[in-house]
Amino acid sequence: MAEENASDKARSGLKKSVLGKAKEVAGALTRNDSLTTEGRLEQEQARQARKADTLSHMAEAESEEAAEHLDAVRRAGQQEREESQRRAETTASQAEREAEIRKHAAELERQEDVVRGQAGAAREAAAAEQDARREENAEVADAAADVAAAQEEHRDSARDAERARLEAEQERRRAEVLDRTLNDRDR
């Protein structure tokens, strides 16, 4: 299920990237800056989504690795405790038994420190993922604002072009009327 979801995300990201590139090229060819900007923004959004997914997968892998290591440390600790108990039962000297217990306790503490360090790394990775998502959300919001501004500018340009076309049409009609009037007069 997770692989299908990852595949769907990959296909979606590739589609967005390709569509963004197509818009960028179409905008460049038609000299439509807003379309070029929109294409670049879509490509950047696809890149940011891939980056966030990569960070998420890395954090999950580190978390799983830390959990597996913790299980291994616990098993090793359990085995060491059992071995220590067997030695303690077979050893006549209380001092030797206490020394072995201290030795094993120190090793367990060291291993727990390693596990705590790995758990801290997993927390840092999760925080980095959250930061990346916040950054991505901010960039998406900025991109949306840029797209909205570009769309407004495009609408304004279209209105201005239509206004100019109508004025040119009126001038052409006036010139035709004037030509007909002058031709009628000349006859």
Buried b (16+ CB within 10 A) or exposed e, 75-109: eebeebeeebeeeeeeeeeeeebeebeeebeeebe
Q: Measured between alpha carbons, how far is 129 from 51 in angstroms, rounded to an integer?
A: 10
What is the predicted pLDDT for the residue at 87?
73
User: How far is Cα 127 from Cα 29, in angstroms, rounded to an integer?
Assistant: 42
Residues of the chain with pLDDT under 50: none
pLDDT of 34: 92
Structure tokens at 57: 């997968």
Give the largest CA-CA distance in the chain: 140
Question: Quick check: pTM over 0.85?
Answer: no
Q: Tokens at residue 137, please?
A: 């959300």
